[in-house]
Chain A
Amino acid sequence: MSAEEGPDVAAAELALGLLEGEERAVALRRVLAEPGFAGEVEVWRGYLGQLFDLWPEAAAPAGVFERVERTLDAPAQIASVRAPARFWPALAGLTSIAAAAALVFIVVRPNPLPAPPPPVAAPAAAPMLVASLAPMDKSATAMAAVYDPARGQLRLTEASAPAANRSAELWVIGDDKTPHSLGMMKPEGGMRAVAMPMRAHLAPGAMLAVTIEPLGGSPSGKPTGPIVAMGKLSTV
């Protein structure tokens, strides 16, 4: 930043949503790399939260809640939204896209089977990827991740549980240099399906990172808390 453009207040700028493009990407990388910066962003979110008091109200149009209920009751939504809800809070908006993609896939299958297997996006020959996530913080333990591109499944070893009022969120930073959430870590580890839109980011050289976030994950969908473990994906 040039001197004539003012002091460094990137944490506030990120919390306010002023940045775009490369400037935003730089600030998001700082959130991952600098725990102090991540903390500052959270403090700014708290300050700005006080301004919600001032926001003028406007009665919502009739029928919105009924639409919400219909969406929740639709069978396609229950399968795609309810089950992974706790597991994928940060990906809430993407689950329906993934479900739609799955639906299209099933519909266009030339040879309808009674019970079609889960759709597979990656080429069958794609090699398995592994990452060893080194702890960046004494509260964390080392973890390993294995990703199977053919099935879109990520297996994680056990992780140390975050404090009771925090969640550990898993991110992938790929070619676009932007952190994308892969959902919350479970202390017991285990297998998880990676949402379709996220799969392209899981490639050799991509970084996996775990940050400590407010319960349920980063409210903004981007990392805000300190990074506790990270490691690079590589082929087996």
Chain B
Amino acid sequence: MTDVSPEIRARAELAEYLVRTGDEDRAAFRELYLRTNAKLFGIVLRICGEREAAADVLHDVYLTIWKRAGAYEPSRASPITWLATIARNRAIDWRRAQKIRVATPLEDAPDVADSAPLASDAMLAEESRHGIQVCLDELEPNQRDSIRTAFFQGVTYAELAERVGVPLGTMKSWVRRGLARLKECLER
């Protein structure tokens, strides 16, 4: 292992900082923050829609990370996925508590085709024979856009239907057919 790629090293270091955070190591926690705050704030900001609220949610996200880091198991999940899941769930909780409807069009979701994977998470792509990005590209545009918006903006069926201006049943039908095809592709 003299020739470890920078991606694998970055992931290993992040896992190390997270494990040390679990041992209540403040210096490691600070380093973890420096390396991950832009990713996690990006997630929280998109779902919350406003910077001030997003900063409050980010504060809660890192408190949660501090409290739960002792339970992080490096063999089970990539550190960034573990952290990002906490950020997304916290932001969605906040959003649902506000009952806000942010009027953002579907196309605002990040473009799948143009985005290169982040170095620290590139390994994840190997974990599925058919990555979800490839499989999303095989869907009808209305299915793909709706599923991506649900993921990146944390919205429900009702909000999706409202944004696109279609009946709720139509939106459910699009998304359900899309998810069924996605599943087929992912399991292929």
Q: List 27 A-B contacts (CB under 8 A).
A: A5-B169, A6-B175, A7-B179, A9-B183, A13-B175, A16-B147, A17-B150, A18-B150, A20-B157, A46-B128, A49-B84, A49-B85, A50-B132, A52-B81, A53-B124, A54-B152, A55-B39, A55-B152, A58-B42, A60-B37, A60-B58, A68-B63, A85-B67, A85-B68, A93-B64, A216-B70, A216-B71
Q: Does A138 contact B (CB under 8 A)?
A: no
Are A53 and B67 in touch, CB under 8 angstroms? no
> Do residues A60 and B38 form an inter-chain contact, with CB atoms below 8 A?
yes
- Count chain A residues whose beta carbon lies closer than 8 angstroms to a beta carbon of B: 53
Which 5 A-B residue pairings sit nearest by Cβ, starting from the closest? A216-B71, A6-B176, A60-B41, A57-B38, A9-B179
CB of A221 within 8 A of chain B? Answer: yes
Give the B interface residue count (CB, 8 A): 80
Q: Are B151 and A16 within 8 A (Cβ)? A: yes
B125, CB-defined interface residue at 8 Å: yes
Is B14 positioned at the interface, with any CB of A under 8 Å from its CB? no
Residues of B bordering A, CB below 8 Å: 26, 30, 33, 37-43, 45-46, 51, 55, 58-60, 62-64, 66-68, 70-73, 75-78, 80-82, 84-86, 88-90, 92-93, 96, 110, 112, 115, 117-118, 121-122, 124-125, 127-128, 131-133, 147-148, 150-152, 154-158, 160, 169, 172-177, 179-180, 182-183, 186
